[in-house]
């Protein structure tokens, strides 16, 4: 793949990830290894506005130097460090997809709840500790979390997947989100149970307020739809 094709592949992958709901706006970032350099998506550019010429070219031996009209993603550091540590990796996708990010916020690994966990190289997809984005500490944690793996969760942040090609990395991004979404995933089950408990408590409170309002008005039981909204009650 020549450099122009690599840039086009990055643009296509970024737009596909947004279409699939794996990223949105300028969230997340992508890169491809090209010889002794990496092509990294620029900082702050929504995927729908991304074009091949906007992608930054960074030497793998460098420490932030780049060629291009816009600076690379603020998270360029872990892209370069992954390529240095993993000669088998040629493509990286970082995403803020809903389910994987939720599991990362719970700071849980994804266990072997489905045979597709094998796509990531081991019995778990690890969740590494939190570190601020763009820092050397986050990069160190990411590289360690990707040891013998092709996917990792970043606590309170998102996820990273790798591949020999961008197509392979995108495939793993889809599979990682599916694993995170699986009801068999204990963390996903915990999340759904917490949401159900919250919904039940809200409904119970709503019923209590309705009964209290009806009693004050001497109306008996009234339909929920006729109960004044909280906003209107406050306005009074």
Among all residues, which ones are annotated catalytic? Answer: 75
Q: Output helix, strand, coil percentages for the chain, rounded to the nearest 5.
A: 50, 15, 35
Give the integer Cα–Cα distance in Å for 16 and 96.
Answer: 14
Specify the pairing of strand 127-128 against strand 151-154: parallel
Give the integer Cα–Cα distance in Å for 11 and 47.
Answer: 7
Nearest to 23 by CA among 40, 46, 6: 46
* Residue-by-residue DSSP string for 56-104: EEEETTSSS--BSSSPBPTTHHHHHHHHHH-TT--EEEEE--HHHHHHH
Which residues does residue 95 pair with via DSSP β-bridges, in sequence order?
Answer: 159
Give the integer Cα–Cα distance in Å for 120 and 116.
Answer: 8
Phi, psi of 230 (to 5 degrees): -60, -35
């Amino acid at each position: 793949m020549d450099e122009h094709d690599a840039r086009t592949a990055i643009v296509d992958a970024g737009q596909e990830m947004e279409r699939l709901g794996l990223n949105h706006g300028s969230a997340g970032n992508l890169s491809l290894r090209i010889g002794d350099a990496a092509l990294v998506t620029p900082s702050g550019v929504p995927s729908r506005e991304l074009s091949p010429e906007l992608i930054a070219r960074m030497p793998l031996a460098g420490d932030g130097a780049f060629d291009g009209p816009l600076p690379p993603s603020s998270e360029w550091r872990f892209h370069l460090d992954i390529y240095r540590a993993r000669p088998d990796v040629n493509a990286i996708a970082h995403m803020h997809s809903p389910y994987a990010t939720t599991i990362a916020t719970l700071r849980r690994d994804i266990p072997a709840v489905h045979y597709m966990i094998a796509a990531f190289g081991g019995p778990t997809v690890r969740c590494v500790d939190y570190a601020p984005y763009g820092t050397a500490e986050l990069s160190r944690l990411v590289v360690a979390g990707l040891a013998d793996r092709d996917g990792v969760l970043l606590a309170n942040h998102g996820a990273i997947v790798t591949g020999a090609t961008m197509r392979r990395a995108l495939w793993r991004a889809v599979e990682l989100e599916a694993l995170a979404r699986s009801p068999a995933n204990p963390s996903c089950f915990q999340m759904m149970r917490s949401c159900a408990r919250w919904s039940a408590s809200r409904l119970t409170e709503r019923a209590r307020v309705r009964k209290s309002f009806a009693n004050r008005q001497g109306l008996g039981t009234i339909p929920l739809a006729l109960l004044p909204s909280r906003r209107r009650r406050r306005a009074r």
